[in-house]
Amino acid sequence: MEQQASRTASPPTQAGFLARVWRSRFVAALLAGFVSGTLVVTFDISLAAIIFTGPLGNRLPLGIGIFLISSVVVGAIVTFGSSFRAVIAAPQEDTSIILASMAGVISLNVREIDPTGDPFPTVVAAIAVTSAVTGAFFLILGLVRGGILVRFIPYPVVGGFLAGCGWLLIQGAVTVMVGEPVGFENAALLLTTPGLTKCIPGLIFGVLLTGALRRYNKFGMLPAMLVVSIGLFYALVSVSGSSLKQAMDAGWLIGPFPEGALWPPLRPAEIQAVHWSLIGRSAFDIAAVSLLATITILLSASGVELATEEEIDLDRELRVTGLANLFGALGGGVVGYMSLPESSMNHKSGGPTRVAGIVAVSLSALVLVIGAESISYVPRPVLGGLVAFLGLSFLLETIYEGWFRLRRGEYLIVVVILLVIALAGFLRGVAVGLAVSLVLFAVSYSRIEVIRNAISGSNLRSNVGRKASEEKVLDMRGPQIYILQLQGFIFFGTAYGLLDRAQQRILDATPMPVRYLVLDFRHVNGLDSSAVASFQRLRRIAETHDVMLMLTEVPPDIRNSLARGGVVVEGDKVCRVFSDLDHGLEACENELIVEAPPTTIPPPVLSRDLAVVFNGPMEVVRFLGYLDRVELPAGYDLFRQGDDSKDLYLIESGELTAWIMLAGNRTKRLRTMGPGTVVGESGLYLDAKRSATVTANDAAVLYRLSFEALQRLTREAPELAAAFHEFVARLLAQRIVDSTAAVKSLFN
């Protein structure tokens, strides 16, 4: 009975096991790899048909072999070496378009040299050299960690490249369907009955494929539509009563091909027929492939990161892909790298595993071994429609969607590059696009205000505590200091605005003529040689009007540029350089105070300042009786940052500076204080640790009020304590007023 029950329970257990296996990631990865491999092989055939057409058409099987060997070699190395486990790497359509253009030019040049010559060996050698150069460029860029460079390429330029590729792909699709190269010079061919008959079905299929995948972007949609379209084609052939041979003779199939293997493309004897000088003439095409491939691989990796939410090491991708292309070049392969659609699809379908990549590579290897006979019966409308789908996808993404995403100036760049590529060729389109981008960038960047803030010396002061009499001098003569806080990168476009603004203020004598023009470089990150000329002119204007240029926090490279241009001269009185804005302002203020009439600056006496608060000298003497007199030598730390203390100090004479320690063993001055100012009030009133270190700049005399003494003062002489609290409150209130004025000036 138990045995029977056991036998009865077994089938469900086995069925459950098979169901779990079927639902497992492994099976999903196998299916994803099969679909990806099918797409890779199909695209290899399509892209090879674009390059190996016209005089190269009889070598299409070997051309397909070149693409397949790249899919095998590059795909295998990238699959096992990439930081993204679900990666699919293969030849891509954008660089293949440039290779097609290069192959066409080489074919014409070979026929000019030798009308009976075969251009195929030279084209294959040029493709291999391109792969080697691109692989080496990838490898070097990855070794120097240059993956970040892609972030600096203007998107409109990349969009124009892609739009141009889209146009050339559609042109290539028509070439595949018609069976011979089609351009503006022979576009009338498409208006004939044979031309329309062969093009319209493929273009309709390309449009349907584009619409279906944009609306229903589901796993397996593309291979399913390919299978259905091929089946429909053969059904129509059968219904029409034509044989496969008749369909092939009529040009509806990509075959027949000469018998033979798909690889290797060249025999040793054929290498002697290579015209190496023609490959040298193609240097610009080779450079364009390297540049575009670099942009595409990095953008594809960024797109995969966004689609899968996984981090990808861009520099590692460059190194691995570079090595893969160097090996691929040995077999004559074309440039290959990560494919965004297939890689994203694999991750979503099979998860983060390398199984799908291995399956895709194996499928390409299988087709490579079987030979050209297995692909002779691929319908041209299906193949051309697939290429047209790729071109339409690029055009929709850049031209249609770009209209809604880009600013009109940026969109104009995309359209200009597309038109130039369509009318004058790929390289001219790239050159024009870069030139237009540089012009628009210069115009746009020049609109950015290089002046971050323009402030009068009345509103922004140094962190030096001044006596009331000195504050009055600075209040009166503060407008003679004019501060311009600069920002960004200064070049000829922005430097003119700075020069114009400074010149206007120098020539304007209201409310007072400017004596000091302070230029703060704290937020400036660069200055080009053309901007130095503007600073030279500014120096001449300042010297003519007896204005001193005070440059603060100038980066070393910018200071060197200004020194080479004669703007900054050692020991010069016209232009001086300071470590930061605070010290620059202090120098201006000190000179204004020194130049003030002596009668406006009474000698510093603490007792006189306190007499204003207390009721007469006797009250001051009573108050000072609660304080301890302290003498400090120059360089002595009154207290240090982080110390515990409950003491407050009044400065009788000398000068002290409060400063803090920053990261990197750097220091920052907070405030310099002279006679009549208060030090350490936070420690007394808040019972907090010292927030800064206070150091005597020279010999100083202070009066210390301890917490205990303040308590005793409050008990024994509450009227004096109240007056002292009012004195401190007035000092703090004045600091707040000064700070508020400075902040307010920043927003005016």
650 or 597: which leads in pLDDT: 650
Separation of alpha carbons 393 and 234, rounded Å:
27
Report the percentage of the chain scoring pLDDT > 70.
86
Q: What is the pLDDT of residue 326?
A: 97
- The answer to whether residue 21 scores a pLDDT higher than 50 is no
Report the percentage of the chain scoring pLDDT > 90.
31
Amino acid occupying residue 198 = K
This prediction's pTM: 0.57
What crossing angle do the helices spanning 380-395 and 25-51 adopt, rounded to 10°?
A: 100
Q: What is the pLDDT of residue 617?
A: 81
- Read out DSSP for 324-381? HHHHHHHTTPPPEEE-HHHHHHHHHHH-S-SHHHHHHHHHHHHHHHH-GGGGTT-BHH
Q: What is the pLDDT of residue 303?
A: 60
Secondary structure of residue 630 in the 3-state scheme:
strand
528 or 442: which leads in pLDDT: 528
Exposed/middle/buried for residue 261 (C-beta within 10 Å: 0-12, 13-18, 19+) = middle
With bands split at pLDDT 50, 70 and 90, how would you rate the model's confidence at 272?
confident
677 or 358: which leads in pLDDT: 358
Q: What is the pLDDT of residue 407?
A: 85
With bands split at pLDDT 50, 70 and 90, how would you rate the model's confidence at 5?
very low
Fold of the domain built from segment(s) 606-746: Jelly Rolls (2.60.120)
- The answer to whether residue 146 scores a pLDDT higher than 90 is no
Q: What is the pLDDT of residue 557?
A: 92
With bands split at pLDDT 50, 70 and 90, how would you rate the model's confidence at 585?
very high
- The answer to whether residue 218 scores a pLDDT higher than 70 is no
Separation of alpha carbons 324 and 566, rounded Å:
52
- The answer to whether residue 2 scores a pLDDT higher than 60 is no
In the DSSP assignment, the letter for residue 464 is B
Q: What is the pLDDT of residue 125?
A: 95
* β-pairing verdict for 548-552 and 516-527: parallel
Least-confidence region, from 184-193, 356-365, 488-497, 702-711? 184-193
Q: What is the pLDDT of residue 745?
A: 56
- The answer to whether residue 709 scores a pLDDT higher than 70 is yes
Highest mean pLDDT of the ranges 24-28, 469-473, 718-722: 718-722
Q: What is the pLDDT of residue 121?
A: 93
3-state helix, strand, coil in the chain (%, to 5): 65, 10, 20
Residue-wise pLDDT tens digits, 692-708: 999 999 999 999 999 89
Mean pLDDT of the 438-454 span: 78
Region at 410 (left for phi over 0; alpha for psi -120 to 50; beta for the rest): alpha
- Rounded to the nearest integer, the mean pLDDT of the chain is 83
User: Could you count the other beta carbons within 10 Å of the beta carbon of residue 328?
Assistant: 30
Mean pLDDT of the 653-663 span: 88
Exposed/middle/buried for residue 103 (C-beta within 10 Å: 0-12, 13-18, 19+) = buried
Q: What is the pLDDT of residue 576?
A: 94
Separation of alpha carbons 174 and 180, rounded Å:
9
Structure tokens, 299: 């953008």
Residue-wise pLDDT tens digits, 463-489: 887 777 788 888 889 899 999 999 988
User: Could you count the other beta carbons within 10 Å of the beta carbon of residue 12?
Assistant: 9
- The answer to whether residue 40 scores a pLDDT higher than 90 is no
Domain ranges of the chain: 26-440, 451-600, 606-746
Check if 451-600 and 606-746 are the same fold. Answer: no
Least-confidence region, from 4-18, 322-336, 619-633? 4-18
Separation of alpha carbons 666 and 672, rounded Å:
18
Separation of alpha carbons 333 and 129, rounded Å:
9
Exposed/middle/buried for residue 53 (C-beta within 10 Å: 0-12, 13-18, 19+) = buried
- The answer to whether residue 14 scores a pLDDT higher than 60 is no
Mean pLDDT of the 662-669 span: 82
- The answer to whether residue 78 scores a pLDDT higher than 90 is yes
Residue-wise pLDDT tens digits, 293-306: 988 888 778 767 75
* β-pairing verdict for 575-578 and 628-632: unpaired
Q: What is the pLDDT of residue 321?
A: 96
Q: What is the pLDDT of residue 4?
A: 46
153 or 696: which leads in pLDDT: 696
Phi, psi of 520 (to 5 degrees): -100, 120
With bands split at pLDDT 50, 70 and 90, how would you rate the model's confidence at 257?
low
Highest mean pLDDT of the ranges 172-181, 192-201, 475-484: 475-484
Longest dimension (CA), the chain: 127
What crossing angle do the helices spanning 314-330 and 60-81 adopt, rounded to 10°?
A: 140
Q: What is the pLDDT of residue 184?
A: 61
Separation of alpha carbons 206 and 94, rounded Å:
18
Residue-wise pLDDT tens digits, 526-546: 888 888 988 999 999 999 999
Pick one of 3.30.70.2340, 3.30.43.10, 3.30.750.24, 3.40.50.300 as the CATH number of 451-600: 3.30.750.24
- Read out DSSP for 251-291? T-BS----SS-S--S--GGGGGG--HHHHHHTHHHHHHHHH
